[in-house]
Structure 1
Amino acid sequence: MVEKEGKNQQKEAKSKIWGFTLSIGLSAGVIWGLLSLLAYYLQFTDIGPSIYAKPFLNPDYVLKWQGHFIGVVFFIVYSVIATFIYTKFLVKFKGPWAGIIYGIILWGIVFFLLNPLLKLTKPVKELGLNTNSVMISLYILTGLFIGYSISVEFNTEDDS
């Protein structure tokens, strides 16, 4: 009987972890995806959110509002995936630094690994200081949001 209760508690704990992870991923995607759209429309960056969906989009939509909207949706999906990866492998790290480093790694993966393969945008060295600084900042903030949210939720002692 006690063993069965222990298994049920483990299932509930895992369900809580993955449910919280999903909500953080969705929140991160919406917040930072819309912020990237705002940065693009305010001309802080030359890269709109449509790059996240570019391999799947009709080329006519890449620079239209529909393409950017679809790009935000893809950014949300990618944020959920990134959050699940963080939770699976990095949940044990406390504090903001793991999230900041995770954001830099995500930026590197997108702009140095995926960009040359999928031709999402111009190479990093051709993008310019404004675009590069906005994009790396966006990824750092996304990683920080994901990492710190997960860290605070699962690494704090419950005093109650």
Structure 2
Amino acid sequence: MLRIEVSFMQQNRKTASRFNRSAVVTGFVGGVLWSALAWVAYFFHFTDLSVADFVLRSWVWMPWAQTWVAELISIFLVGILSILIAYLYFLFLKKQQGMLPSLIFGAVLWVLVQLVLAPVIHGVDSAFQADRNANITTMCLYLLYAVFIGYSINFEYQQSEAYQDN
């Protein structure tokens, strides 16, 4: 009996470890991928603010912060920050299936960043001050990012549940 409980606890520990790695990888890849696409949207003038405007240029006023290196560093930093966001999704929404929970999560993220954080960050306009194209572009990027995170984490959770049932 004790051996079965120890085996079950080890299995749960392995599953939790796999989820932790999955959330880290999903968060980092999602952050890098979608912030790189946000930079592409900035490059093609779909939005007025680049990734570095949010992440670096608000508090670093050195000349290198105006270069493409600052964009790459910012994309990497968004990937790191995105790990935390993926963990939040994992903790609260991993069992939710479908696209709607992810879309709501993305909309909440957009509101937090564009309406709450943006006015506090030096040199960054809030959604109220940005033009319609910038708001639509950023909203779509946040929604796609959240769907990527949501589907990836939910898929991993469903696979783990199916594996444990066997």
TM-score scaled to structure 2, two decimals?
0.87
Deviation at 1:45, TM superposition (A): 1.0
2:105 to 99, 102, 108: 102
What letter corresponds to residue 41 of structure 1 in structure 2?
F
Structure 1 contact 92–151 (Cα < 8 Å) conserved: yes
Q: Tell me the TM-score normalized by structure 1.
A: 0.90
Cα distance, 1:120 vs structure 2: 5.1
Cα deviation digits, residues 78-111 of structure 1 (max 9, x gap): 2111101100111111111111111111111111
Which residue of structure 1 aligns with residue 35 of structure 2?
A: 33
User: Could you tell me how far apart the structure 1 residues matched to 2:12 and 2:123 are?
Assistant: 42
1:8 and 1:55 map into 2 onto residues whose CA distance is: 46
In the alignment, is the contact (CA less than 8 A) between 2:106 and 2:145 conserved in 1? yes
SS at match of 2:128: helix
Identity among equivalent positions (%) equals: 26
Aligned residues: 160
CA deviation after TM superposition for structure 1 residue 53, in Å: 3.0
Aligned alpha-carbon RMSD (Å): 1.9
Q: Could you tell me which residue of structure 2 aligns to residue 142 of structure 1?
A: 145
1:62 CA drift (Å):
4.3
Q: Which residue of 2 aligns with 1:48?
A: 50
Uncovered stretches (5+) of structure 1, i.e. residues with no partner: none
Shift of 1:59: 5.1
Residue 162 of structure 2 aligns with an amino acid whose one-letter code is D
Query: Residue 118 of structure 1: SS of its match in structure 2?
Result: coil
Q: Give ranges in structure 2 of 5+ residues lacking alignment.
A: none
Are positions 1:9 and 2:18 aligned together? no
